[in-house]
Each structure stands twice: as C-alpha cells, then as structure tokens.
Chain A
C-alpha cells in the first residue's frame, strides 16, 4: 500500500510542477515505484516538464470516466521504468473530475505504487479540492516572497480543515546572497509565520530553467545544486535524516571538497 502526497501552494508560479517532477524522479532514482498525477486539467504542464508530452494517448479524465483502463492512461517514463505519469486532460476543465472520482483513483493507484505524487493546480477552487481529495500527506511549496507565503498560509489552513494535518514545507528559489544582505525573507522568517515542518530548501538555480525546458528533471543532474536539494528532499520523504544544505557555496577547492562529503 503506497502513500498519496499532494504538492500544492495556492499561488501560481512558485514551482509546484517542477517540484512534483523532481520529487517524483528523485523517488524513482531511489528505486521506488512512483506515479505522478497531473490534476491541472486544462493547463497541463507536468508532461512537458518530464519530456513525455508526445506519448500521451489517454488522460486522467479518460481513466476516471472509464474510456480506457487505468493502466492504458499511465505513461511509462523514458528514463526510469519504475516511474509513471498520469497526464491531465487539456481539452476539458476542472469540473470533468469529481472529488469522489479522485478518491477512488488514488485508492487504485496506491495499491500498485509506493508513492503517488499529485501535482495540484494553483488556486483554492474545484481543482485544488480535487487534488487534495485522495491525498494523505501534503507538501506546500512557497518562495521567499510575502505574497507566496501569504498564500501558503491560506493553503495550510485549508489543508488542516480538510484533515490533512501537518503539511511539510519546501522553500523554493531561495538566494543565499540576498538573504544574507537582508533583501530576501530568510528560512527562519518564513517558518515563524507558517509554523510547519520544513522538508527542504531549494536554491535558485539556472539549471532548473534549462532542464525544465528540455524536459529533463534537474534531480538527475549531479552537478546542479537545485538537483541535489531535490535529491535530499526525496530521501527525507523516504524517512532518511538528511541535513539541510548550506545556502551559499563557494567555488573554491575546499568548499567543493567539503560539498562532496556533505552531499
């Protein structure tokens, strides 16, 4: 029996889809049976980020409505054979799936997979309620911006009201230099307001933009700092205790040597 995890944020553009793709791939690298579900019906993206867009035949709406068998709608990844994607429909809208249908879908998926990672749409309406309907755990993504933190706070309240207790937080796109100079909210500032457990921090990294456009999750890239952060997060999800990575990293020999051992 697997675990259903929803990745959500409230605000758009903070990195829900990127986070889903990287956590899902990170778990697959660790050898887990993983399926990612894109619930952003009408605005699907996860398939693009994973580079699987051209393999879609059936989608989540087909699977839920019985137009095809669930197995037929699952797309096997081109890199890892233990990783699958259930894509969103692009020509329908959020009301095409009901909360009960999502619950049934998640119950079916977790019988076969160890981790079901759900990519939630932005907002707090129908799409959000669908995405969290079948979830047992929640990951809230925020960036160090006041508006994103405000929305994360709202989302945590809604998750708690929906009996999804103790959501975990990922702070995305943080910049060590700006935090140090006092121009960006620090991890401590954000945790003071949100008061939830921190699952990880992901540094702002150009590699994310490049890999996202290429359809290759950054987590595969050994050299990328953001990739390493996502690998750490995946290990933490599996129950490993991994220390938080340092925000700033020098390029000198010693700091690189050190990072080899603290990875």
Chain B
C-alpha cells in the first residue's frame, strides 16, 4: 500500500475483535485495530498503523512495507518488541513494566529512532 494512501485516507483497516493469544498472528496490508489484548507470543504485522484497545504485551510491526510514519498505540504499552518500518526496539533490560496507573501511549519514529509518548489525539 502506498504511503500517501495510508497517511491521507487511512487506507484499509482490519478489525480484530478478540484478544490475541500466544501463537496467533495477523498480517494485513493496511491498519490493524485490536479490540482486546495482544498477549506475549502473539504478533501483529501491518503496513499501516496499529491500535490496540487493551494491553499490548506481544510483538507489533507497524509500517511493515517501509512506511516510516506508522504509529503503534495501545491503552497499555508493555510490548515484548516493537517494530516500525525498519526500526526495532524493545523495553530496556531489567525494568519491570510500570505498575499502577497506565496511560495510553503511542510509539512513533522521531529523528531516526522509536520514541514512546503519552497518547494525544492528532490535532
């Protein structure tokens, strides 16, 4: 899918209406929205953006066709690994996932590396 299509019209979107468990995977040319959790061992690969309306604990690859502007958003972002286009990142070793109040977060590429920030609706 072309980058233009994904950024401007949003492209096609696939809705996954279940929690994705270990060993389950989704591979879609477009955006993916998961209504549920993505558990450790599950994998989502999308050429566009990925939105998880639950806890993201598995692996997500957004912008899999090379689209740098792809984002990964989750209500609870504690992934095993995140990939955006050709960038790969994982949580730092030895750090436990934050306890207590977890806010929705978004991962995106900024200045050539993946950054994670509090979710804000695009203006």
A172 to B23, CA, bound (A): 23
Q: Which of A44-52, A76-84, A149-157 makes up part of the contact surface? A: A149-157
The answer, yes or no, to whether A158 is at the interface (CB within 8 Å) is: yes
Pick from B20, B23, B39: contact of A193, CB under 8 Å: B39
Contact assessment for A158 and B19 in the assembled complex, using a CB-CB cutoff below 8 Å: no
Contact assessment for A157 and B24 in the assembled complex, using a CB-CB cutoff below 8 Å: yes
Contact assessment for A154 and B19 in the assembled complex, using a CB-CB cutoff below 8 Å: no
Q: How large is the interface on B (under 10, 10 to 19, 20 to 34, 35 or more residues)?
A: 10 to 19
Contact assessment for A150 and B19 in the assembled complex, using a CB-CB cutoff below 8 Å: no
The answer, yes or no, to whether A187 is at the interface (CB within 8 Å) is: no
Shortest Cβ distance from residue A209 to the other chain B in the assembled complex, whole angstroms: 30
Q: What residues of chain A lie closer than 8 Å to B12, measured between beta carbons?
A: none
The answer, yes or no, to whether B21 is at the interface (CB within 8 Å) is: yes
Q: What residues of chain A lie closer than 8 Å to B21, measured between beta carbons?
A: 153-154, 156-157, 160
Q: A150-B40, A195-B37 are in contact. Are A157 and B57 (CB under 8 A)?
A: no
Q: What residues of chain B lie closer than 8 Å to A150, measured between beta carbons?
A: 22, 40-41
Pick from A153, A156, A157, A160: contact of B40, CB under 8 Å: A153
Contact with A along B45-75 (1 / 0, CB 8 A): 0000000000101000000000000000000
Q: What residues of chain A lie closer than 8 Å to B55, measured between beta carbons?
A: 192
Q: How large is the interface on A (under 10, 10 to 19, 20 to 34, 35 or more residues)?
A: 10 to 19
Q: What residues of chain B lie closer than 8 Å to A192, measured between beta carbons?
A: 55
Closest chain B residue, CB of each to CB of A157: B21
Shortest Cβ distance from residue A30 to the other chain B in the assembled complex, whole angstroms: 33
**Which parts of B73-122 form the interface with A (CB within 8 Å)?**
none
A191 to B77, CA, bound (A): 18
Contact assessment for A154 and B57 in the assembled complex, using a CB-CB cutoff below 8 Å: no
Closest chain A residue, CB of each to CB of B21: A157
Pick from B23, B37, B40: contact of A158, CB under 8 Å: B23
A113 to B60, CA, bound (A): 47
A14 to B19, CA, bound (A): 24
**Which parts of A136-191 form the interface with B (CB within 8 Å)?**
150-151, 153-154, 156-158, 160
Q: What residues of chain B lie closer than 8 Å to A151, measured between beta carbons?
A: 22
Pick from A154, A160, A195: contact of B22, CB under 8 Å: A154
A157 to B39, CA, bound (A): 11
Q: Which residue, of A153, A156, A160, A195, has the highest number of chain B Cβ atoms within 10 A?
A: A153
A192 to B57, CA, bound (A): 12
Contact assessment for B22 and A157 in the assembled complex, using a CB-CB cutoff below 8 Å: yes
Contact with A along B16-30 (1 / 0, CB 8 A): 000111111000000
Q: What residues of chain B lie closer than 8 Å to A154, measured between beta carbons?
A: 21-23, 41
A192 to B54, CA, bound (A): 11
Q: What residues of chain B lie closer than 8 Å to A157, measured between beta carbons?
A: 20-24
Q: What residues of chain B lie closer than 8 Å to A156, measured between beta carbons?
A: 21
Q: What residues of chain B lie closer than 8 Å to A193, measured between beta carbons?
A: 37, 39-40, 57
| A-B pairs with lowest CB-CB distance, top 9 | A157-B21, A154-B22, A153-B22, A154-B23, A153-B21, A153-B39, A157-B24, A150-B22, A150-B41
Interface of B toward A, CB cutoff 8 Å: 19-24, 37, 39-41, 55, 57
Other A-B pairs beyond A154-B41, A157-B23, A193-B40, 7, CB < 8 Å: A154-B21, A154-B22, A157-B22, A193-B37, A193-B57, A195-B19, A195-B37
